[in-house]
A and B are shown apart, each in its own frame.
Chain A
Amino acid sequence: MQTVKMVVTGPFSAGKTEFIKSVSEIDVVSTERKISTKAEKTVKEATTVAMDFGRITVDEDLVLYLFGTPGQKRFDFMWEILSEGMLGFIVLVDSTRPETFREARSILETFRAYAPTPYVVAANKQDMNDAWELEDMRHALRLDPKVKFLSCVAMDRDSVKTILLELLYSILAEMESGEK
């Protein structure tokens, strides 16, 4: 059995668990534990402290694993470990919470520094009224025009599929350009 993996990262409460849930064929394995910090509690009642883990079986001998990174800063020692051997990564950003954009940028730059792996950035929660527009977010996140930046609703399977596909197209394009 062959396995490959992708990493889904982004700030706390960006929608990583939801994203992986939408396409995983197994229940997303994640240890939910009540976090006591007040600030975090107001955002979400329970938060994931272990990483999320989802699976998509491709055929008899190929499986894709999706790993979600723990969002909080104090778990960032896990990022480098998780990023080892990944095919590519997805950075999820909560479009309704500009206070997390700086952290999202930081996470992106940190991952970019590990390895030149293909990635896409997804503006999540675009279904919400107070979501920022993509164009504004692109500047706020300081994304180069060449970076794929896509609209996302993590609960919507089609939306998640599109993002995974765009990442795979980027991976393929890079393999092809590397051969020249």
Chain B
Amino acid sequence: MALRGNLRDFTITQLLNLINLARKTGTLVVEGPNETAQAFFREGKLAFAQIGREDTSLAHILFKANKLSAGQYKAIQQRGNSVSDKELGLLLINAGYVSQDDILANLQQYSTDVIHRLFTWVEGFFRFDNDQLPPDDRINVRLDLENLIIEGSRQLREWEQLQDEIPSLDMALKFTARPDANMRNVNLNVEEWRVVSYINPKNTIRQIGNAAKMNDLEIRRIVYGLLQAGLVEICRPEGVPIPQPVRVFPTEDKEEQKTLVNRLITRIRSL
């Protein structure tokens, strides 16, 4: 249980990363200094997000996006809560006012905007509630988190944190084997694509930075975003002679070394 903490120590981007990789279903609740935000997820995809008591009804979202006129909006409002968002959506589509794509695009935009606003929160308690499912009466979207994660990572400027995340530029990068890590659906900017084009276990991060004409801070920031989005992982560079650790074993003989490890195992078992 206990997926909780403070945003100062564990950022929204890192939380999205976790939710994405673990394909979580449930609700992320963030209590900021002034407001509380809720983001609902289904199998690692964003279904819906809201901050505070903002009106998140479909009618209001469509009205704000100029898909409904003030008159239409008012008429719907007068109906009160008798019509659910799903029913309203169907009615509007059938009446030809909006298309299904319009509805989904605007809902996605709304939730995306909420997450963007959350990225600016630096302080606040969060918890992830596995049992609280996305609200049934709402039209849920299925938004991939990779793009949001990359966008959030772009905002990380703090040198010290980047240094922590990527302590050594002499390691290399490779694409993750995760089957759903799909580069094609991710919106990378030119710089990020340039870095991606050099990714190969033979190239160290430092070499990639040099080739792409980026300083240490820039290359670290981009690699951090790719790591966070689960697209790449750090590996030992190929072809570089492995640094031979100074004398690990008191003996050079391979069989004796194995015997020694087995003696250690036997001893520890007996503790």
Contact = CB atoms under 8 A, between A and B. Distances in A.
Contact of A4 (B6, B234, B249, B254): B249
A59 B270 CA distance: 12
B5 A98 contact: yes
Interface stretch (A28-36, A39-47, A135-143, A148-156): A135-143
B261 interface: yes
Given A102-B165, A132-B2, A144-B233, A175 B9 contact: no
Contact of B166 (A98, A99, A109, A136): A109
B271 A136 contact: no
Interface in A87-125: 87, 96-103, 105-106, 109-110, 112-117
A133 B249 CA distance: 36
Interface stretch (B15-23, B80-88, B92-100, B189-197): B15-23
Nearest to A146: B177
Given A23-B271, A56-B268, A85-B248, A172 B262 contact: yes
A110 B5 contact: no
Contact of A168 (B5, B243, B247, B268): B268
Interface residues of B, number: 48
B245 A4 contact: no
Interface residues of A, number: 54
Contacts of A116: 236, 242
A99 B6 CA distance: 8
Contacts of A133: 1-3
A130 B1 CA distance: 8
Given A113-B168, A165-B268, A168-B261, A85 B2 contact: no
B228 to A, nearest CB: 9
B2 A110 contact: no
A142 B227 contact: yes
B72 interface: no
A116 B165 CA distance: 19
Contact of B18 (A114, A131, A139, A161): A139
A175 B164 contact: no
B258 A175 contact: yes
Given A102-B165, A129-B2, A131-B2, A179 B234 contact: no
A164 B265 CA distance: 9
Nearest to A87: B248
A99 B250 contact: no
Nearest to B244: A115
B250 A4 contact: yes
Given A102-B165, A139-B18, A144-B233, A157 B271 contact: yes
A172 B258 contact: yes
B63 to A, nearest CB: 39
B170 A113 contact: yes
Contacts of B268: 23, 56, 161, 164-165, 168
B2 A139 contact: no
B260 A139 contact: no
B246 A84 contact: yes
Interface in B132-188: 161, 164-168, 170-171
A155 B205 CA distance: 40
Contacts of B267: 56-59, 64
Nearest to B245: A115
B264 interface: yes
User: Sorted from nearest, which 5 A-B pairs have the closest CB atoms?
Assistant: A99-B9, A113-B168, A2-B250, A98-B5, A106-B164
Interface of B: 1-6, 8-10, 14, 17-18, 21-22, 161, 164-168, 170-171, 227, 233-234, 236, 242-243, 245-251, 254, 257-258, 260-265, 267-269, 271
28 contacts: A4-B249, A4-B250, A23-B268, A23-B271, A56-B271, A58-B267, A62-B263, A86-B248, A98-B5, A101-B10, A102-B161, A106-B167, A109-B166, A112-B171, A113-B168, A116-B242, A117-B245, A131-B2, A132-B2, A139-B18, A139-B22, A140-B14, A140-B18, A142-B227, A157-B271, A168-B268, A172-B261, A175-B257
